[in-house]
């Protein structure tokens, strides 16, 4: 019997790195019978260990921890310099490009020691020996996939569940590389992965924003719906004020590399439009644009900030996380 079998409500709070994810949000979701997640991305191993301890103090329920799988190689340094120069020429003060692995080894050690019930991975498939180590520690290993090919690799590596991410999803694409994937819509992807006959449990994610769409992905064969944007206006979330306000209003979203060098969906804004040609270089560009993003946040400039959002963002509610869970589960039989 796995974590998905034990969940009272088949809803997973998506890990939301970069601010929105908090211990309070995960704890509230767990308290409502769904699966809360901690986002380890862009945190130090020490911070992650502290957050796990704080969440354990707040709840006895199952929870997950999400890790970024590091990129195998840096982007083209000449392209990165060109991009930084372009920003400087436009009057900005870009940061230094830095290729790093988000403290991968340190965080793997933390989760092996802390043994959260679920460890999920995005941006790649961890090596089979890492998944084996998770299993020996007593954790399930879930892998985010965006195509049938990625799903095949994740199954071969020993994944316990696949987080099937449709192109509707807010934030970064979980694709194993910038050229893998295939921009599948969520329902098509669930079908291609076998739907209810999938050999490995499916967790659906991307644009799920209402009780009816939660019911739809369950009908399409998912064991749970992983919801991100719909939790970002909760008081427990750490979403910035400008970002919260932007989510509430109807506005088109688009996929861009302009902020981080990796494709991600956000509300279409000035910075995206000004930089349609950003190179593939994550996390170098994350560091290059960091001072610009910090300044935009300080000044409340929604045009200069990465306003990550799924396609259903305007349907998100400003309500406590427990209420959002109960609302999203409304159309599921008890």
Give the residues lining the site for ligand FMN (CB under 6 A): 14-18, 20, 39, 41, 66, 122, 144, 165, 168-171, 174, 205-208, 226-230, 308, 310, 312
Q: Which is nearer to ligand FMN, 84 or 228 (CB)?
A: 228
Q: Which is nearer to ligand FMN, 84 or 139 (CB)?
A: 139
Smallest gap from residue 228 Cβ to ligand FMN (A): 2
Q: Which is nearer to ligand FMN, 86 or 210 (CB)?
A: 210
Residue carrying the six token digits 């403290």: 103
Identify the CA nearest to 172 among candidates 294, 98, 99, 69.
69
Residues 332, 11: Cα–Cα separation, whole Å: 11
Nearest residue by C-beta to ligand FMN?
A: 310
Smallest gap from residue 283 Cβ to ligand FMN (A): 13
Residues 101, 91: Cα–Cα separation, whole Å: 30
Identify the CA nearest to 259 among candidates 311, 306, 310.
306
- The number of beta carbons lying within 10 Å of the beta carbon of residue 70 is 18
Q: Which is nearer to ligand FMN, 84 or 170 (CB)?
A: 170
Residues 308, 245: Cα–Cα separation, whole Å: 12
Q: Which is nearer to ligand FMN, 84 or 261 (CB)?
A: 261
DSSP 8-state secondary structure symbol assigned to residue 314: G
Residues 304, 138: Cα–Cα separation, whole Å: 43
Smallest gap from residue 209 Cβ to ligand FMN (A): 6
Residues 267, 273: Cα–Cα separation, whole Å: 11
Cα-Cα-Cα-Cα dihedral of 78, 81, 85, 88, to 10°? 170
Smallest gap from residue 265 Cβ to ligand FMN (A): 8
Bridge-based pairing state of the strands 161-165 and 253-256: unpaired
Smallest gap from residue 90 Cβ to ligand FMN (A): 25
Smallest gap from residue 237 Cβ to ligand FMN (A): 9
Smallest gap from residue 81 Cβ to ligand FMN (A): 28
Smallest gap from residue 172 Cβ to ligand FMN (A): 6
| E runs forming strands in 191-291 | 201-205, 224-227, 253-256, 264-267
Q: Which is nearer to ligand FMN, 77 or 303 (CB)?
A: 303
DSSP 8-state secondary structure symbol assigned to residue 173: -
User: Is residue 166 exposed (0-12), middle (13-18) or buried (19+ Cβ within 10 Å)?
Assistant: buried
Q: Which is nearer to ligand FMN, 84 or 258 (CB)?
A: 258
């Amino acid at each position: 019997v796995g974590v998905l079998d034990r969940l009272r409500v088949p809803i997973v709070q998506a890990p939301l790195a970069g601010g929105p994810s908090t211990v309070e949000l995960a704890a509230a979701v767990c308290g409502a019978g769904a699966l809360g997640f901690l986002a380890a991305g862009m945190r130090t191993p020490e911070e992650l260990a502290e957050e796990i301890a704080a969440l354990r103090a707040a709840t006895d329920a199952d929870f997950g921890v999400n890790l970024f799988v590091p990129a195998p190689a840096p982007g083209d340094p000449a392209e990165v310099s060109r991009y930084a120069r372009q920003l400087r020429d436009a009057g900005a003060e870009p940061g230094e490009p830095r290729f790093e692995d988000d403290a991968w080894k340190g965080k793997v050690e933390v989760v092996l020691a802390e043994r959260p019930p679920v460890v999920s991975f995005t941006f790649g498939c961890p090596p089979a020996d890492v998944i084996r180590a998770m299993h020996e520690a007593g954790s399930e290993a879930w892998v985010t996939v965006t195509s049938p090919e990625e799903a095949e690799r994740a199954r071969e590596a020993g994944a316990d569940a696949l987080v099937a991410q449709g192109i509707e999803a807010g934030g970064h694409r979980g694709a194993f590389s910038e050229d893998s994937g295939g921009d599948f819509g969520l329902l098509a992807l669930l079908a291609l992965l076998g739907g209810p006959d999938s050999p490995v449990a499916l967790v659906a994610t991307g644009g799920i924003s209402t009780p009816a769409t939660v019911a739809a992905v369950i009908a399409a064969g998912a064991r749970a719906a992983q919801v991100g944007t719909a939790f970002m206006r909760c008081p427990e979330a750490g979403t910035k004020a400008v970002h919260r306000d932007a989510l509430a209003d109807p506005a088109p979203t688009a996929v861009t590399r302009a902020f981080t060098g990796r494709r991600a969906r956000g509300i279409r804004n000035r910075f995206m439009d000004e930089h349609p040609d950003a190179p593939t270089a994550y996390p170098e560009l994350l560091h290059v644009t960091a001072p610009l993003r910090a300044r935009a946040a300080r000044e409340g400039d929604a045009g200069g900030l990465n306003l990550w959002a799924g396609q259903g963002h305007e349907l998100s509610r400003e309500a406590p996380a427990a209420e959002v869970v109960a609302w999203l589960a409304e159309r599921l039989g008890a």
